[in-house]
Amino acid sequence: MNNLVILPIIIPFISGMIMVVFRKNITLQKWLGVIALLSTGFVAMMLMHQIKSEGIQSIQVGGWQAPFGITVVADMFAALLLVAAFLVALACFVYSFFTIGNDKEKHYYYPFFLFLMTGVNGSFLTGDMFNLFVFFEVMLISSYVLITLGGSKGQLRESFKYVLINVISSFLFLVALAYLYGVTGTLNMAHLSLRVAEAGQDGLLTTIAILFLIVFSLKAALLLFFWLPGSYSAPPTAVAAIFSALLTKVGIYAIFRVFTLIFYHEPQITHVLIGIMGALTMILGAIGAIAYWDIRKILAYNVIVSVGLIVAGLAAFTYSGLLGSIYYLIHDIIIKGLIFLIGGTVIALTGTAKLKEFSGLIRNHPYLGWMFFISALSLAGIPPLSGFVGKIFITRGTFEAELFWLGAIGFMTSLMVLYSVMKIFMNGFWGETNMSIEMEKGSTKRVILPIAFLTVLTIALGFGAEGIHDYVSIAVEGLLDPSIYIEAVFGNNPIP
Amino acid sequence: MRPNDILLHSVTKIATFIILTFSIYLFFAGHHNPGGGFIGGLATASVVVLLFLAFDVETVKKYLPLDFQLMTALGVLLAVLTGVGSFFFDAPFLSQTFDYFELPIFGEVELATAVLFDIGVAMAVIGTAVTIILSISEAD
């Protein structure tokens, strides 16, 4: 029993509710939000430390033993993602102070931001399939509010699609859960893992596994990404940044959890399918990224490419593949937040998202320009920066698993990603300066702080990859060996 | 010309009393019989909605000066804080406890902390339901 495990879920939740009580006092909301996020991050780091020294931490909510009650489990994989999510959330939260506007602040922007974090953290920590569904909904309903908040025409149009897609995928999730419960008679993840292993993953269970794959692919934009480019272009910058940094990652996390803990018995069917979906996602996403001349669209398609690359590591299902996936997942959470914040700042400065309408921003905004350059290189995976470690391990994993085509597609799309972001850099930042400071629609004065914070992080993560290697390898061992997880949930208690 | 709805008013005055009693019964029945915080809260919300239908919004707000958005937040906070309470007794989050008390009129009664959680749920449900109805009716 360790009550620390539940804190990353309830700290944002309680502080969000206190914000609703004091809805008129915006200053208090800002401070409370920062304090809540900081303490969540602190708890997540403490958890990381505890997991390293004492193994996976878990808590049986309400004191009911494992398969009967809800278990909340913090393994290293979840703890790492919690820390990454906290870092990017803090940056986006501070960024929104200066950009979101008084009107949205009055209509519960900050509380919903924290409820979104509640859902994200809860999805990472839960050890129960139905509870995962509930936390998905907590996250999604907050995201519905954040995407529509403000009520401009574009937002309403895109949010309608977004809500429709997610309602359908949630419905499918529920149906999949019903099938799974009908077959195995349990919903606790550790217990499910045991039951599936005992029964053998026959055709029926594999079918259910693929249904889960479809559900999580809809959330994670793995091949079924048709809803994403529009939805991520509509909301305000801070919201788009937190969405692209966290929402698809929660879907990816769920895919990893389900296919390493529960349905790992038929990799020649499920994992190969994941690999094919990942490859198609990378190719289609990269084509989208180089096709457009609209900053928002280019960045949105970059989100899709990285989803394909991360699941390629899972498709390989070797030590290096998973190691690379986790490194890349952490890197991707930070870099997507960063690049969306910079993109949004550029759009705020120039008043347009079309690349052909402005150029030469680097003359007036050298810091912003070079930070964009660094994040573009990091996104493509140039060696000293954070994207490199993940990409190299994923490629190594796919080669070890003799999925050469997958590794090759990963490499090829990296080039296309580099081209797409360099296109923004060369067209937007280089060239004749056609806009003086007076003509600009906004300023980078204070928003540069959160951007710089994330840039420093991506550099640090690149140079300090060795430093977090111990933690990441513990996470990989946990993913490769489900018995560690099961033991942490059941302990010495009898398993029914 | 405004129709005379004295019949509706009179029936509402009696019916609200009955429905309110029923909703409180539903709320407390939850532990051993069908009922509980959600349905109890929804029934209470239906009382408020019936009042809104029979009388106009201003009148009801005058005699029932409740901030329903605040009520939602306080309800959820109450529900979560009953869970947090278990931290102080070194028990897992959301642990509940109960005991038997000798109360003046009712005699021996079982009181559980789960009731506090349910009160939170009921407040959240009432607040949400009424806020939805009010927002729809106030939009032009």
Which secondary structure element, helix H or strand E, spans residue B99, and what is its range? strand B98-103
The residues with which A294 forms a beta bridge, in sequence order, are: A354
Q: Which one of B72, B87, B95 has the shortest CB-CB distance to A63?
A: B95
Q: Which residues of B touch A21 (CB under 8 A)?
A: 70, 73-74, 77
pLDDT at residue B3, as a whole number: 74
Q: Is the pLDDT of residue A492 over 90?
A: no
Which pLDDT band, with edges at 50, 70 and 90, does A109 fall under?
very high
In 3D space, the residue among A314, A72, A302, A123 whose CA is nearest the CA of residue A213 turns out to be A314
Q: Which residues of B touch A61 (CB under 8 A)?
A: 92-94
Looking at CA atoms only, how far is residue B69 from chain A in angstroms? 8
pLDDT at residue A206, as a whole number: 94
Q: What is the mean pLDDT of residues A268-276?
A: 92
Phi-psi region of A6 (alpha: psi -120 to 50; beta: other; left: phi over 0): alpha
Residues of B with CB under 8 A from a CB of A: 69-70, 72-74, 76-77, 80-81, 83-84, 87, 91-96
pLDDT at residue B87, as a whole number: 86
In 3D space, the residue among A144, A141, A139 whose CA is nearest the CA of residue A12 turns out to be A139
Yes or no, beta carbons of A61 and B93 under 8 Å apart:
yes
Q: Is the pLDDT of residue A302 over 90?
A: yes
Q: What is the mean pLDDT of residues A25-50?
A: 94
The residues with which A126 forms a beta bridge, in sequence order, are: A72
Which residue does chain A place closest to B80, by CA atoms? A14
Q: What is the ipTM of this complex?
A: 0.91
Weakly modelled stretches of chain B, pLDDT under 50:
none
Q: With pLDDT > 70 as the criterion, what percentage of chain A qualifies? A: 99
Q: A17 and A439 in contact (C-beta within 8 Å)?
A: no
pTM of the model: 0.94
Q: Which one of A14, A21, A62 has the shortest CB-CB distance to B95?
A: A62
Token pair for residue A273? 């399918």
pLDDT at residue A1, as a whole number: 63
Looking at CA atoms only, how far is residue A99 from chain B in angstroms? 26
More confident residue, A434 or A397: A397
Yes or no, beta carbons of A10 and B80 under 8 Å apart:
yes
Which residue does chain B place closest to A22, by CA atoms? B70
Q: Is the pLDDT of residue A252 over 90?
A: yes
Residue A178, chain B, CB below 8 Å: the answer is no
Which secondary structure element, helix H or strand E, spans residue A330, and what is its range? helix A319-350
Size of interface A-B (CB pairs under 8 A): 45
Q: Which one of B73, B81, B92 has the shortest CB-CB distance to A20?
A: B73
pLDDT at residue B2, as a whole number: 64
Yes or no, beta carbons of B92 and A13 under 8 Å apart:
no
Q: Which one of B76, B81, B93 has the shortest CB-CB distance to A3?
A: B93
- Rounded CA-CA distance A320/A158 in Å is 39
Sequence-ordered alpha helix ranges (H) in chain B: 6-29, 37-54, 57-63, 68-85, 113-138
The residues with which B101 forms a beta bridge, in sequence order, are: B109
Which residue does chain A place closest to B84, by CA atoms? A10
Which pLDDT band, with edges at 50, 70 and 90, does A273 fall under?
very high
- Rounded CA-CA distance A110/A98 in Å is 13
Q: How far is CA A31 from the centre of its chain?
A: 25
Q: Is the pLDDT of residue A94 over 80?
A: yes
Yes or no, beta carbons of B92 and A1 under 8 Å apart:
yes
**SS3 per-residue string spanning A218-235:** HHHCCCCCCCHHHHHHCC
Yes or no, beta carbons of B81 and A14 under 8 Å apart:
yes
Span A212-246, pLDDT tens digits: 999 999 999 999 999 999 898 889 999 999 999 99
pLDDT at residue A30, as a whole number: 93
Q: Which one of A17, A63, A72 has the shortest CB-CB distance to B77?
A: A17
- Rounded CA-CA distance A11/B81 in Å is 11
Q: Which of A204-213, A286-295, B54-63 has the lowest mean pLDDT?
A: B54-63
Looking at CA atoms only, how far is residue A10 from chain B in angstroms? 8
pLDDT at residue B89, as a whole number: 86
Domain positions in chain B: 6-138
Yes or no, beta carbons of B77 and A21 under 8 Å apart:
yes
In 3D space, the residue among A92, A161, A148 whose CA is nearest the CA of residue A120 turns out to be A92
Looking at CA atoms only, how far is residue A64 from chain B in angstroms? 9
Span B4-18, pLDDT tens digits: 788 999 999 999 999
Q: What is the mean pLDDT of residues A270-281?
A: 94
Q: Is the pLDDT of residue A401 over 60?
A: yes
Span A345-393, pLDDT tens digits: 999 888 888 888 888 888 888 899 999 999 999 999 888 888 899 999 9
Q: Which one of B76, B84, B94 has the shortest CB-CB distance to A17?
A: B76
Residue A6, chain B, CB below 8 Å: the answer is yes
**Type of residue at A412:** M
Q: Which one of A21, A59, A62 has the shortest CB-CB distance to B73?
A: A21
pLDDT at residue A18, as a whole number: 94
Which pLDDT band, with edges at 50, 70 and 90, does A205 fall under?
very high
pLDDT at residue A433, as a whole number: 81
- Rounded CA-CA distance A275/A410 in Å is 11
Looking at CA atoms only, how far is residue A67 from chain B in angstroms? 16
Mean pLDDT value across chain A: 92
Residues 6+ apart with CB under 8 A from A413: A282, A283, A285, A286, A305, A308, A309
Span A157-177, pLDDT tens digits: 999 999 999 999 999 999 999
pLDDT at residue A422, as a whole number: 92
Sequence-ordered alpha helix ranges (H) in A351-468: 361-364, 366-380, 386-400, 404-424, 448-463
Q: What is the mean pLDDT of residues A243-265?
A: 93
